[in-house]
Amino acid sequence: MKILIRLPNWLGDVVMSTAFIGAVKQLYPMAQVDVIIKKELSPVASLIPGLTQIHSFLKEEYNGLVGAYRYGKSLRTEKYDLFFNLPDSLSSAVMGKATNAKQRVGFSKEGGFLLLTKVCKRPKNAHRVDEYLSILEQFNEMPVTGRKVMLNPETREPNKLVLLNFNSEAESRRMPLDKGRALLNLLTNTFIDVKFGLIGAPKDAIFLEQILVNAINQDRIENYTGKTTLVTLTSLMAGAKVLLTTDSGPAHLANSLGTPVIALFGAGNEHNTAPYNKANLTVLRAGQLNCEPCVRNECKLYGIPKCMELLDDQRIINALSLYLNHA
């Protein structure tokens, strides 16, 4: 049997989909399991256990519905028996239809339900991981057990770093600049024997440079922004003491490795998108605004993410102290 899974389009969602892939491997132990993923995220797929083939594509090369159809058609020679559609976009359903897979199962909107052989209902008020797993449960009419988000890093060498991620794809989830500067100085002053590492993508470099303006204790701060690939970032996280992070892809990446994570939430809904594995996880929210969580990508009310700005520094210090004392 040959199974093809269309993975989501964002880093955090791809990581969360590893529980779905693990469940597929359990339910179909003799099957070949392959995935479709955006090219820029394909290095993460290389760290997912149990995959045979990773089909990656550039959206610029296969743009729109016509592009999605062309890409799916290019996989027809693989003769897939079963296609799972984790995104609910029309383009991903078109891609699945074009593969000629015998059965095509998943969520759908925008008319994509016409292209699937079984359309699954997205459960309400569920975590994203459980949403994905519900596709399997609805298709097989049986519960899924052993739910775990997991990646296998290439290396796991202890580096004794406390990693800091103040970035997020959504502006409403990004650490406000002044808050980030003050928090960084507070952390380096409080934990005097600790080395810190700032992480981020190349596009985050300017923001992190602004965070570091007039930062104290810079001899204990290493800026890794733009200097890591997804694979080397995973290895860096695997060896770290803890990651202090906004609601973002790196939060899920570290959590999938078993690295302790302190996740700071504001606009995002932690009940839907917090890191899934509960061991070594602390979720902090200010909870002082009626609009929390708004789940918007931009703060329409305050201009800056006030919900992040109101996070209590002492709660962050206390949470970090617990992990460092047990490290």
Averaged over 251-280, what is the pLDDT? 97
The single residue listed with the structure tokens 């209590």 is 312
- What's the pLDDT tens digit per position in 86-107? 998 999 999 999 999 999 999 8
CA 99, 103, 109, 112 torsion-angle sign:
positive
Q: Which residues pair with 246 in a beta bridge?
A: 264
For tokens 């892809």, name the residue. 249
Residue 29 reports pLDDT greater than 60? yes
* 262 CB neighbour count, 10 Å cutoff: 23
pLDDT category of residue 327 using cuts at 50, 70 and 90: low
Q: Which of 13-22, 147-156, 318-327 has the lowest mean pLDDT?
A: 318-327
Q: Give how far Cα 144 sits from Cα of 24, 118, 166, 277, Å.
A: 9, 18, 35, 16
Does the structure show a pLDDT above 60 at 3?
yes
State residue 108's pLDDT score. 82
- Whole-number pLDDT of residue 133: 98
207 CB burial (10 A radius; 0-12, 13-18, 19+): middle
Q: Which residues contact 137 (CB under 8 A, 6 or more apart)?
A: 143, 144
Give yes or no for residue 13 having a pLDDT over 60.
yes
DSSP bridge pairs for 282 = 262
Separation of alpha carbons 119 and 317, rounded Å: 46
Per residue in 176-211, pLDDT (tens digit) is: 999 999 999 999 999 999 999 999 999 999 999 999
Q: pLDDT tens-digit profile of 106-146? A: 988 877 788 999 999 999 999 999 999 999 999 999 999 88
Taking the alpha carbons of 67, 68, 70, 75 in that order, is the dihedral positive or negative?
positive
